[in-house]
Amino acid sequence: MINYRSGIVKSIINDEKDITIVNVNVEGKVCKAVNYKAFTGEVNVEDEVVLNTTAVDLCLGTGGCHFIIYNHRNKVMESKGPGHIMKLRYTPYQMSCLVTEEEDSPYHNIFNDFKSLDNHVFVVSTLHSMVAPIAAMIKYINKDLNINYIMTDGGALPIAFSNTVRDLKHKEILNKTITVGHAFGGDLETINIYTGLIAAKEILKGDITIISMGPGIVGSGTKYGFTGMEQGYIVDAINNLGGLAVAVPRISFKDLRERHKGISHHTITVLSQITNTRANIVLPYLEKEKEDYIINQISKAKIQEKHNIIFQNGEKIQKAMDKFNLKTSSMGRTIEDDKDYFISLGSVGQYVTSLF
């Protein structure tokens, strides 16, 4: 279930507000480790720490580094700030948060008075690597549009783990963030995706809200066993509350796995079987052979009968990413390695911008 070992911190790689990346000597081998300050406090060189080494021991990509779970120097920690709702409930790391819905929140009454999302635009993606290209494309076309981000609990739970979010906020591409469910660390916290949607529209009041899990989608090579399934019920939640749902397809012709060729089986499964309401699905203009392949996938799964299919040009994505100096990769592939993936995200940004 869990592997843990002791180690000695040898150097600080990077220190941010909520997270520190360090090098730790574990049984004579120097390894990278993550320290979340909310759990284990500040960390210094020569601190003796206990590490969760499970993912590295299993040679996993998702979660594949050590995590500090106890620092012998920090024997006592006192919680700071308001809030009575627990996230990571009934685990040793359960933590109190001030969620927007609770009675102590200044926003409490907003949720009782809520009527509709009034066609607020929500972009529902499945991979964390989709967030930066889509947001960059929107800002490249219209710098005045205000973009916020909802992070679900389908991947990494601490938003501090996302270098992408930190970079996008620093470059003023993203404005504010909301962490929903057991995800934590956003500018706002909510109990579930429904109240997260309401908070995005009623509290943050942006123009566009991008939704995705944090880094580290979980898959199993089976039809239904992946955390990107959340895209389906999020689309339904948006529509049921009166928003406008744009579903981002996962498209690549460079993934060697046949199930992810063209439109990934993840997207096809969600949009053909899981959603119960209509979404706007944006597809890119590509070479004819690739377009025909995608159209055949859409037709075979009868997705066009359930959703609005919109083709858009995403070719400006390279210029958008260059403008903001973004080095995004997905599954280890950059825009130079997998241009179609990034063009598809550019087409989403192009379409969403056209709504304003």
Among 15-29, 252-266, 296-310, 312-326, the range scoring the smallest mean pLDDT is 252-266
Percent with pLDDT over 90 in the chain? 86
Please provide the average confidence, as pLDDT, over all residues in the chain.
94
Which tokens belong to 43? 């960390």
Position 162 confidence tier, pLDDT thresholds 50, 70, 90: very high
Residue spans of alpha helices (H) in 18-84: 37-40, 54-57
Look at residue 255 in the predicted model and tell me its pLDDT: 80
Percent with pLDDT over 70 in the chain? 99
Which tokens belong to 269? 């499964």
> Are 20 and 117 in the same domain?
no
Look at residue 218 in the predicted model and tell me its pLDDT: 87
> Are 154 and 270 in the same domain?
yes
Which tokens belong to 103? 């009675």
> Are 54 and 203 in the same domain?
no
Residue 63 has pLDDT above 70, yes or no: no
**How many other C-beta atoms can be found within 10 angstroms of the C-beta atom of residue 269?**
20
Integer angstrom CA distances of residue 23 from 10, 42, 221, 237, 338: 6, 14, 33, 42, 32
Measured CA angle at 117 (ends 111, 123), to 5 deg: 120
Per-residue exposure over 28-59, b if at least 16 CB sit within 10 Å of its own CB, e if not:
eeebebbbbbbbbbebeeebebbbbbbbbeee
Look at residue 61 in the predicted model and tell me its pLDDT: 62
Number of domains in the chain: 2
> Are 53 and 157 in the same domain?
no
Which residue range(s) make up the domain with 41?
4-71
Look at residue 77 in the predicted model and tell me its pLDDT: 87
Determine the Cα–Cα distance for residues 14 and 188; give it in Å rounded to an integer: 25
Q: List, for residues 226-278, the tens digit of each pLDDT value.
A: 899 999 999 999 999 999 999 999 999 988 787 778 899 899 999 999 999 99
> Are 63 and 188 in the same domain?
no
What's the first-to-final CA gap in the chain, in angstroms? 49
Domain harbouring 245, CATH code: 3.40.50
Region 170-188 average pLDDT? 98
Look at residue 80 in the predicted model and tell me its pLDDT: 76
35 vs 221, higher pLDDT: 35
Integer angstrom CA distances of residue 204 from 53, 100, 189, 241: 38, 12, 12, 17
Would 121 be classed as within a structural domain?
yes
> Are 257 and 329 in the same domain?
yes
Determine the Cα–Cα distance for residues 253 and 195; give it in Å rounded to an integer: 37
Among 157-166, 193-202, 261-270, the range scoring the smallest mean pLDDT is 261-270
